[in-house]
Amino acid sequence: MPENKGLVLVVEDEPHIADLQRRYLTREGFGVHVETDGEGGLSAVRRIRPVAIVLDIALPGMDGMEVCRRLREEGDWTPVVFVTARDEVTDRILGLELGADDYLTKPFSPHELVARIKSLLRRAAGPQREAVHTLGRLSLDTGRRTLRVDDRPVELTTTEFNLLAFLLRHPGQVFSREQLLAQVWGYAGYRDTRVMDVYVSQLRAKLGGASPIRTVRGVGYGVTEPAR
């Protein structure tokens, strides 16, 4: 049996899809708990404290987006992967703005789902050695997974944290959206690079005037120390 890698919560109302996700995640060493509606999913997160959540959007009763919104409002930043039949850009952007860490559109490969969850968890764990990156008014501790702005804590999703950490490790450099997606999620070829714009926008909103992120038109993003 593979090493136990933690418990993943699957919130999915289609039994055959939930069973497929359970089987593939179990093969990779994850424990799996399944709920079939939003209320049950929200309750399960609070009760079992999963390492990651695979969350369908079109759920009976409370939908997946509302579940994610409530979790983030409560300060729960467990990595969330949205799974949905919706393929509209606006739906994907809304999901990311609510705090999701990744997004899969049905039909999808269960191998890809497992790979994305493993990548999220690997990056959420951060490097084995602690490192503190400071720039301007920011102090980001990759060992403790904390960010402080003007010595005040700021909450980030796993993906937001990983994006900011990568940029702070490479001050003065500019990266394309494709390069950043490969670094943040751990794989290349993400079909909609515009999701990176969503994450940058969210980071800037959370960092306010302390944001060091700059846009280089036609190229991508980098960080420089903000002017005082």
Q: What is the pLDDT of residues 115-130, one digit of tens each?
A: 999 988 887 765 545 5
Q: Is pLDDT at 1 greater than 70 in this prediction? A: no
* Per-residue model confidence as pLDDT tens digits over 172-207: 899 888 778 767 765 544 556 677 888 899 999 999
Cα separation, 44 vs 46, whole angstroms: 5
The residue ranges of DSSP E strands in 44-185, in sequence order, are 52-56, 80-84, 102-105, 132-135, 138-141, 146-149, 152-153, 174-175
Domains and CATH numbers, the chain: 7-125 (3.40.50.2300), 132-223 (1.10.10.10)
Question: Six-digit token pair at 207?
Answer: 């960092």
Cα separation, 58 vs 49, whole angstroms: 23
Q: Is pLDDT at 23 greater than 90 in this prediction? A: yes
Mean pLDDT of the chain: 85
Q: What angle do CA 50, 87, 65 make, to 5 degrees?
A: 40
Please give the pLDDT value at position 19.
95
Please give the pLDDT value at position 29.
87
**Of 96 and 149, more confident:** 149
pTM of the model: 0.64
What's the chain's Rg over C-alpha atoms?
18
What is the side-by-side order of every strand in the sheet holding 31-35? 31-35, 7-11, 52-56, 80-84, 102-105
**Of 191 and 89, more confident:** 89
Cβ 166 vs Cβ 184: under 8 Å: yes
